[in-house]
Amino acid sequence: QGLPIPRNVLVPHTKGFVTAISNLGLFVPAIYDITVAIPKTSPSPTLLRLFNGQSSVVYVHIKRRLMKQLPETDEAVAQWCKDIFVEKDKLFDKHIAEDTFSDQPSKDMDRRPINSLLIITSWACIVAYGILKFLQWSSLLSSWKGIALSAFGLANVTILMQILILFTQSECSNPAAKVAPRKPPKNDPQS
């Protein structure tokens, strides 16, 4: 389609993007162009690392793009999307070469505010209370058989979650295909 073959990003399939823009353009004031990179020297962020409280280094480049600045026609929006991915590929090349996305200083993220912890804790207590009330109502906790059945079910869910979390590790997934670096075209006087 006349696009350069990207080394760091996927080739965009624009049909869904164009449909989303045409349907949401009146309701959504902007879209966010987010590019995420993980340094090779840092361990990959996985759910298991997250649940174990281990941090990971992640570089994020966010750009807000106003909907009113997007092209009008579907074909122009599709081309705009392809151009953005070419730009993203160059941004990744810069990040690989210089370990940064831009010339602007990076901003370290502070720790989450205590409000997030309070909200999650409150919801966990409400859900746990609801589950306990359901178990009391269903009489599962009134006999040893019900208690054993509940414990068996909880153990199965725990084991299944552990298996699913382990499969999210990047070491278990298929590696990305490597593309040879681009070579500049040679000016051949014979052609």
79-129 pLDDT, tens digit each: 999 999 988 998 888 888 887 777 666 666 666 678 888 898 999 999 999
Measured distance CA(154)–CA(54) in Å, rounded: 25
> For the chain, how many helices (H) and strands (E)?
5, 2
Measured distance CA(8)–CA(59) in Å, rounded: 15
34-73 pLDDT, tens digit each: 988 888 788 888 877 877 888 888 888 888 999 989 998 9
Task: Give the pLDDT mean for 128-138.
Answer: 86
What's the confidence (pLDDT) of residue 135? 78
Three-state SS for 34?
Answer: strand
Burial 60-94 (b: 16+ CB within 10 A, else e): ebeeeeeeeeeeeeeeebbebbbebbeebbebbee
**What residues contact 58, with CB distance under 8 A and at least 6 apart?**
36, 37, 38, 45
What's the confidence (pLDDT) of residue 172? 52
| Domain ranges for the chain | 14-98, 114-172
